[in-house]
A = this chain, B = another copy of it.
Amino acid sequence: MIKVLVIDDEAPILRALKINLTARKYEVSTAADGASGLAAMARERPDVLILDLGLPDMDGTDVIRGVRGWSSTPIIVLSAWGQESQKVAALDAGADDYVTKPFGMDELLARLRAAVRRASPAPDEPVITTADFTVDLAGKRVTRAGADVRLTPTEWQMLEVLARNADKLVTQRQLLQEVWGPGYQNEAGYLRVYMANLRRKLEPDPSAPRYLLTEPGRGYRFRP
């Protein structure tokens, strides 16, 4: 779940944000002034910071600089209308975005999504490991006993689909659809040929598969 920290001294805004963000499945924590905001920032490690510039104890740009000193968490600034120069100062201090009050909740949510999306360019592609080999989805590579295993394009695609659905049953139709595309839904023969190839290259005993399992009449399952 995505964690958001809101620093604002106006209770109504704080409440409105908390309700709306929580409803959208964000995890929300709050702070009412700059000092406790910075403390919360270090403690909570949120994924995004929403910061009101009109705080009682500190200048908003100092809060931004305080955060930027050690973190690159996206910062969305809220502030009253006008104040062009304040806006520029906040952005130059390291804020990522700036929204003027009064603001539409839809807009804020959209900017929030944009900020989160930018911050996480890495759609983490895990490495799946078994006792006999490893499958690296990001590097599109299979290693066995320390050495790379050479897979043909079709073999890799099949393994990739199975690995992404590890432990789940993958239907024959699904497999054919994802590897060969539509129009091959009845070519179940292909699956046997390539499953045999994969097992030859990956299984310790290809005739008694431990990882690439057949579920007769239904499909295949990859059990790491």
Residues of A in contact with B (beta carbons under 8 Å apart) = 72, 84-85, 87-88, 91-92, 94-98, 104, 106-107, 109-111, 113-114, 117-118, 121, 138-141, 152-153, 156, 167-169, 171, 216-219
Contact = CB atoms under 8 A, between A and B. Distances in A.
A139 B92 contact: no
Contacts of A110: 87-88, 91-92
B91 A113 contact: yes
10 contacts: A84-B107, A87-B110, A88-B109, A91-B110, A91-B111, A95-B114, A96-B118, A139-B168, A152-B216, A156-B218
Given A95-B114, A141-B169, A153-B217, A88 B72 contact: no
Nearest to A218: B153
Contacts of A113: 91-92
A94 B85 CA distance: 27
Contacts of A109: 88
Q: Which 9 A-B pairs have the closest CB atoms?
A: A153-B217, A140-B169, A91-B110, A88-B110, A139-B168, A91-B114, A84-B104, A88-B106, A153-B218
A104 B169 CA distance: 44
